[in-house]
Amino acid sequence: MTIMNSLYIGVNGLTAHGDAISIVGDNIANTSTVGFKRERAQFSDMLGGVLGGQRMGGGVRLGAAQTMFEQGQLTSTGNPLDLAISGHGLFVVNGNHDGHNANFYTRNGQFHLDDKGTVVNSEGLKLQGYTMDAAGVRGTKVGDLALGATQSPALPTSNAALTVNLQADTTTPALPFDPLNPNTTSNYATSFTTYDSLGGAHQVQMYYRNNGANTWEVHAMVDGGEVGGTVGTPVEIATGNLNFNSTGTLASSTVTPANVTFTNASAQTIALTFTDSTQYAGQLSATNGTDIDGHAAGNLTDVTVNSDGTIQGIYDNGDKRTIAQVAIASFQNEEGLTRDGNNLYMESQDSGQALIDNAGTGKRGSIASGSLESSNVDLGNELVTLIAYQRAYEANSKTVTTADEMLSDVTNLKR
């Protein structure tokens, strides 16, 4: 091995460790970058000439920068669209990044809704996932999660469960029940709200008449103007009897379902039930509980994200329903992904194609809503590594200066 070879070996060492210091510097710089994955320098030896039948060393080179996909610490934020993956996998985002329109992959789960209600990251790339139909069945195609466009459809009332106490010692009205004069021909009146197929709200007036012998008449009525009749004239939509036993508990109910067609809406049937209703003397008539379904159409006001990535919408009509599911990508070799800046990765031949499905399946981890994954850089470890590379850099510089001094001695032999 010649002195010149020693000079170039030292130069190779300087180059390799200078590049390695850049990798450590990049790690340190991204200590606070959400979802950042540190890189590790991989050195490879180089071969030089032959001595005694054996290949001599030719120095070192930086073979690769290996991405270390270790789990980062999860930090709570309270924002439901801050998402973190606990385990393997990456979020899928789609859009234009540096002039390239494609799917990109990231561990940075800082998402929000844009002005169109689509879930996006800080660059405007759209989070990918699956839509859900009204029955909660997941679609098969991965696409943009446009949550703001969803609405809670109107649900017509079909069941009205009422729990009442009717005062047993009231006097039966002198006249039979009169729909045109219901208040003076009944003992107790109350109301509840029902909804039609268009989401329109309607008041159903309930009248209870004591017929003696532990029997009460029940009459359900609505304003005639709401069912195609005369405004202000009540129309009866259901009637029947409540029969109580001698202990004041309900023995039977013969109240018919309410069949009604509100103006411009579809015909609907409302089942009226009176479970746990009572008849006690000395206690004023009162409605003690209701369980009535149906609601108007509603707009999205908030979302929650479950560990499997399902997104539940919360609407201003009180409805809650599953509307979408976040997609997670896994790869045969995550370390083969190509960095593309802004905490994004692209698939490559080394990584294999993205395998996209929901969280918690295959090798995919679960999703933590209201949390972010911190950088997996260990600052202390990086600083120690930086010192080691710095010392190696200095040592290689000594190889160069020593070879230079030896060459100087050789050139001085002629003097």
**Mean pLDDT along residues 400-409:** 74
| pTM, entire model | 0.76
pLDDT at 409: 67
Mean pLDDT value across the chain: 91
Q: Is the pLDDT of residue 220 over 90?
A: yes
Please work out, in degrees rounded to the nearest 5, the angle formed at the alpha carbon of residue 326 by the alpha carbons of 325 and 327: 115
Q: What is the pLDDT of residues 31-68, one digit of tens each?
A: 999 999 999 999 888 887 666 666 667 778 888 899 99
**Mean pLDDT along residues 96-124:** 94
The whole-angstrom separation of Cα 300 and Cα 73 is 32
Chain-centre distance of CA 288, in angstroms?
A: 38
pLDDT at 132: 86
Domain boundaries, the chain: 3-70+376-414, 78-148+299-373, 159-292
- 31 Rama class: left (phi>0) / alpha (psi -120 to 50) / beta: alpha
**Mean pLDDT along residues 208-223:** 96
pLDDT at 1: 53
CB 354 within 8 A of CB 348: no
Q: Is the pLDDT of residue 339 over 90?
A: yes
Multiple choice CATH, 159-292, 2.30.30.30, 3.40.50.720, 2.40.160.20, 2.60.98.20: 2.60.98.20
**Mean pLDDT along residues 334-362:** 94
Pairing of strands 159-167, 267-273: parallel
CB 264 within 8 A of CB 228: no
CB 379 within 8 A of CB 31: yes
Q: What is the pLDDT of residues 73-102, one digit of tens each?
A: 999 999 999 999 999 999 999 999 998 899
Q: Is the pLDDT of residue 12 over 90?
A: no
- Comparing CA positions, the residue from 213, 260, 201, 216 lying closest to residue 236 is 260
The whole-angstrom separation of Cα 162 and Cα 207 is 13
Q: What is the pLDDT of residues 123-173, one digit of tens each?
A: 999 999 999 887 778 888 999 998 877 788 899 999 999 999 999 999 999
Most confident of 9-18, 305-314, 406-415: 305-314
Long-range contacts from 350-355, C-beta under 8 angstroms, 24+ separation: 354/92, 354/103, 354/105, 354/329, 354/330, 355/329, 355/330, 355/331
Q: Is the pLDDT of residue 227 over 60?
A: yes
Residues in the chain, total: 415
